[in-house]
Amino acid sequence: MSSVPENAPEHCPGTKSEAAGRADACAGCPNQQICASGAASAPDPDLDEVKERLASVKNKILVLSGKGGVGKSTITAMIARALAHDPSTEVGVLDIDICGPSQPRVLGAEEEKVHSSGAGWSPIYVAENLAVMSIGFLLNSPDDAVIWRGPKKNGMIKQFLRDVDWGTLDYLIVDTPPGTSDEHLSIVQYLSAAPPLAAVVVTTPQEVALLDVRKEITFCHKVNIPVIGIVENMTTFVCPKCKVETVIFPATTGGGTQLAADTGLPLLGQLPLDPRVAQACDQGQNYLTDHPESPVTHAYKNIAKMIVEYCNGQTQGQT
C-alpha cells in the first residue's frame, strides 16, 4: 500500500511522496506537520511483532461495507460458523468495531472474559474450532459506551493483532465498522504486513446502500486489497411457514447483481431475510445447525465454499 496516514484526506499523496505535508490535499489534515517533517514515514516498530504473531494465520479476510446496518456483523459470524462447520478448519473472528462490538452477543459469548497468559490474550472459544476476540469482552457491562478518539481505537486494534494468541488458524475473519477511515486504515496497515489479505464486501439492494459500498470497493483498490466478491443481504423475504418469497427492498438500480457486473467482481451470494436469523443472533445460537435445510443456510454454505476456493487458489498461485 502507499503509506497513507490515519485521518488522511481523500487525495492524500502518502507519507513517502515528496509532496507529503505540502500538497493542496494536505491543508487541514491533522497529520500535515508530521508528514512534512518526514516522521510519518518511519516504520512502525510493532509491525514486526504483528507479522510474527499472525504468521500462523493462513488467510485474513475483512468483511467490509461503507454502509451501516447492512448486516456485516451477522454475515461475519455466519461465514465463520459456515467455515468452522468443517471440524478440520480452525477459524477466528476479530471484532474491530470498537464503538459497537456485536460479536460477543452474536456468537453467544457475551458473559465471557478475556484471560491473559505469558503467550498473550487468549481468545474466547465458542466452539472447538471457532474463537473470537472483541473489546466487548473487556467492558464491565454491555451498556458501557466506548468514547474514544481515533488514535486510541487504532491502538486497541494494534493490541488485538499483536497480543492475541490465536495459535494456528486457517481463517481470521475481521468484522469492521462502517466507513473507510481510522479503523480501516489501521487494520489494512497491519494485516498487509502479514499477507495474504482479502475482503468480502456486503451490500443491500437499495441504491442508498450501494452508494457507500462503491466507495468501499474504491477504498480496497486504493490500498491494494483484493476483493473476493460481493454479498447482497436482505435480497428478499422468505416466509418461514408458507415459503412465499417477497421483495422487501426493491433494487432500483440493479442491486448487488448490477454492482458485481459494474465492478467485475463475483456475486458470492444473495441472502434472503429470515426472522429466525435475527432471533438466533440475539440468543447466540448457531442458525446453520438449527436450520440446516433453510435457503439462508444453503446460501451461507455456498459463500463459504467460494471463499475457500478463492483462498486455495491464492495459495496455489504462491507456490
Contact 212, 178 (CB under 8 A): yes
Among 135, 144, 137, smallest CA distance to 111 is for 137
Contacts of 117 (CB under 8 A, 6+ apart): 165
CATH topology of domain 47-318: Rossmann fold (3.40.50)
What ranges do the domains of the chain cover? 1-42, 47-318
At residue 155, the 3 state secondary structure works out as: helix
pLDDT at 2: 47
Pairing relationship of beta strands 115-117 and 120-122 according to DSSP bridges: antiparallel
What pLDDT is stored for residue 1 in this prediction? 43
Give the model's pLDDT for residue 217: 97
Q: pLDDT tens string for the chain (319 positions)?
A: 445 555 555 567 666 666 676 777 777 675 666 666 654 455 677 899 999 999 999 999 999 999 999 999 999 999 999 999 999 999 999 999 999 999 999 999 999 999 988 889 999 999 999 999 999 999 988 899 999 988 899 999 999 999 999 999 999 999 999 999 889 999 999 999 999 999 999 999 999 999 999 999 999 999 999 999 999 999 999 787 787 889 989 899 999 999 999 999 999 999 999 999 999 999 999 999 999 999 999 999 999 999 999 999 987 766 5
Helix, strand or coil, per DSSP, at residue 103: helix
User: Cell triple for residue 272?
Assistant: 434472503
Beta bridge partners of 78: none
Angle value at C-alpha 62, between 61 and 63, nearest 5 degrees: 120
Secondary structure letter of residue 235 according to DSSP: -
First to last CA, the chain: 23
Residue pair 230/204 in contact by the 8 Å Cβ criterion: no
- Residue 98 C-alpha cell reads as 470498537
In degrees and rounded to multiples of 5, residue 188 shows phi and psi of -65, -40
> CB of 187 within 8 A of CB of 157?
yes
Grid coordinates in use for 66? Answer: 461503507
- Rounded Cα distance, 170 and 57, in Å: 6
pLDDT confidence of residue 32: 66
SS3 231: strand
The closest of 61, 19, 62, 72 to 41, measured between CA atoms, is 19
DSSP characters over 186-229: HHHHHHTTS--EEEEEEE-SSHHHHHHHHHHHHHHHHTTPPEEE
**Confidence (pLDDT) at 305:** 98
Find the angle CA(239)-CA(240)-CA(243) to the nearest 5 degrees. Answer: 55
What is the predicted pLDDT for the residue at 42?
58
